[in-house]
Structure 1
Amino acid sequence: MHNSKRFSAIALFSKFASVGVLNTAIHWLSFFALTYLGYDQALSNLIAFSVAVTFSFFANSKFTFNSKVSVNRYLIFTAFMGSLAFLFGFLADAWKLHEVVTLVLFSGTSLVVGFLFSRYIVFKEV
């Protein structure tokens, strides 16, 4: 890979990760509030992620990818990432994982998978 392309990819990922820090804080706070209120991890993770993904979508659209916002892009992004969030919560419930383990595993995975999905599918310019 050419050095300027590599730097560009690193810079893009750095922007995505910056948005991800805020997104993660929103997600985690929402998740803990919902589980504290008695919701199971699967539903809590799905709802918390839905709140956080809306912020993430708009921030990454403008800040990271400098791309136009569209309903289609939003729906594709939230459907894919929401499914991933629910899957992690479902598995956490089945395996009786502690909430922090669920969040750490999901956050790390969604950072990498979310970046690749966003860059090459959701915000890909045709």
Structure 2
Amino acid sequence: MNFLSDDLFRFIKFALVGVLNTLMNWIIFFILNASGFYYLVANIISYSISTLNSYLWNSRWVFKYQGDNKKETTLKFIVLNIFGLVLNTIILFVLVDKLKLNKMVGLIITTAIVMIINYMINKFWVFRGTNS
């Protein structure tokens, strides 16, 4: 495979992991919330579990990271996901409250923007030096 097709294939795998983690997050949240957990606690737990799952799939399957410094990579991944959450919230707020877009349209646009940024930061900062 040439560079472009390798990158496209990696991006598709990254997107698949993202979709599955989003579903995991929502399912865990709804189960915990329906079981009586306070919704903020349910959100923290579901987000944390899906972020861990995302790290495992991204490091082993998408980027096939084999670097020596796993602690640094893990910390970078956590920082990136906190940044992604903040960025996602800001973009969604601007699109819906300031530009008056429909919430679902805003969510779709926000997800696409953050997914691309998240992929690029994962590739060039979090999992830099990958062997795949």
Among candidates 113, 119, 122, match of residue 118 of structure 1: 122
Measure how far apart 1:119 and its partner are: 0.6
TM-score, scaled relative to structure 1? 0.69
1:40-77 deviation digits (Å, cap 9, x = unpaired): 6xx94x65433211111111111011113712111111
Which one-letter code corresponds to 1:28 in the other structure?
W
The whole-number CA distance in structure 2 between the counterparts of 1:14 and 1:113 is 14
Listed as ranges, the matches of 1:32-71 within 5 Å are: 32=30, 39=39, 44=43, 48-68=46-66, 70-71=70-71
Describe the SS at the equivalent of 1:124. coil
Measure how far apart 1:11 and its partner are: 0.8
Listed as ranges, the matches of 1:8-47 within 5 Å are: 8-32=6-30, 39=39, 44=43
Structure 2: segments with no counterpart, 5+ residues: none
After superposing on structure 2, the runs of 4+ consecutive aligned residues of structure 1 that deviate more than 2 Å are: 27-40, 46-51, 86-92, 98-110
TM-score, scaled relative to structure 2? 0.66
How large is the Cα RMSD of the aligned pairs? 3.6
Describe the SS at the equivalent of 1:66. coil
Identity of aligned residues (%): 25
Query: How many residues are aligned here?
Result: 119
Higher Cα Rg, which structure: 2
